[in-house]
Homo-oligomer: A and B are copies of this chain.
Amino acid sequence: MNYNKEDIIESHNRISKWIHRTPILQSSSINKIAGAEIYFKCENFQKIGAFKMRGALNAVMSTKKQNLKKGFVTHSSGNHAQAVALSSNIANTKAYIVMPKGAPKIKIKAVRGYGAEVTLCENNEDSRVRVCNKIIKETGANFIHPFDNEDVILGQSTCAKEIYEELLDLDYIISPVGGGGLASGTILSTKFFSENTKVVLAEPQKANDAYESFTNKRLIPVSNPNTIADGLKTSLSEKTFKIILDGTDQIVTIEEEEIVNSMKLIWERLKIVCEPSCSLPLAAVLKNKKKFKGKKIGLILTGGNVDVNNLPF
């Protein structure tokens, strides 16, 4: 697909009634520590507590009327599950969510709270896909992939669009990268709304498939990576890799310790609750101070769904 500016604008119009226009925060003490001018886009304040709401809702709302009534299905243990559940609820249709048995009970409860039907599967990819396909066959529900989906990517692009509507002259924008939905959306919005801004992606060293794929110019997935940034364990897909290969200035890999330190800094200085995945963009600035010195930088904080009883610091 060739994405254009109108696609992004239409996507934003399509979803804006139901999503929050999240605030952009600053901290003078973090600016001092980083030696840069940093703007944090707070998607932890988004509906369901994460940017994933944008993509899922755009996919649901882009679905043709005759298909809408069959509902939606996805497999996810994380924020995408809640996003598809709430989006389906908003569209007055059913959601079937396949979640691994090992998923935190609180997340299963949250998904059910949005009215979705949860089907538990074994804790592996094969089982997820098999159960998902069975539901599709039985119900005709529409599958929404968490990132390998144009409408999802376009939905995620609205986050950076909102940043550029408030901040005209960013030198850099930094997004974390997992499956690449947010990263791709950020690249697209940057291309159309702020062409002089460079896109940097931040990835856990322990799940560095995007770095390896970008460097070697071919998709190199990692399997079962183990990182505290649980939202960033997935590997790029065909659709997201294509956009990332084309529009990324640099991919910075981040060690586990750097993730924890940067997360704690955000909690203490910005006074907000956010997931480990959020902290990678700031960690990328802090480990490349020379590159970012004096620059004006937008960072995307992806979400705030974290177990406050089980913090890594």
Contacts and interface: CB of A to CB of B under 8 A. Distances in A.
Chain A contact residues (Cβ within 8 angstroms of B): what range? 10 to 19
B271 A272 contact: yes
Contacts of A311: 308, 311
A86 B30 CA distance: 17
User: How many copies make up the complex?
Assistant: 2
A264 B23 contact: no
B271 A304 contact: yes
Nearest to A44: B271
> Which has the most chain B C-beta neighbours within 10 Å: A264, A267, A271, A309?
A271
Interface string A122-137: 0000000000000000
Interface in A273-313: 273-274, 304, 308-309, 311, 313
A308 B304 contact: no
A27 to B, nearest CB: 10
Contacts of A273: 267-268, 271-273
A89 to B, nearest CB: 13
Given A271-B274, A273-B273, A264 B308 contact: yes
A78 interface: no
A25 to B, nearest CB: 8
Contact of A49 (B25, B44, B271): B271
A308 B272 contact: no
B23 A268 contact: no
Interface string A7-27: 000000000000000010100
Contact of A308 (B45, B49, B309, B313): B313
Contact of A313 (B267, B272, B309): B309
A33 to B, nearest CB: 12
A3 to B, nearest CB: 31
B44 A308 contact: no
Interface string A26-45: 00000000000000000011
A271 B79 CA distance: 15
A244 to B, nearest CB: 28
Closest 7 pairs between A and B when the two form their complex, measured CB to CB: A271-B304, A271-B273, A44-B271, A267-B308, A267-B273, A272-B272, A45-B271
21 contacts: A23-B23, A25-B45, A44-B271, A45-B271, A49-B271, A264-B308, A267-B273, A267-B308, A268-B273, A268-B308, A271-B272, A271-B273, A271-B274, A271-B304, A272-B272, A272-B273, A273-B273, A308-B311, A308-B313, A309-B313, A311-B311
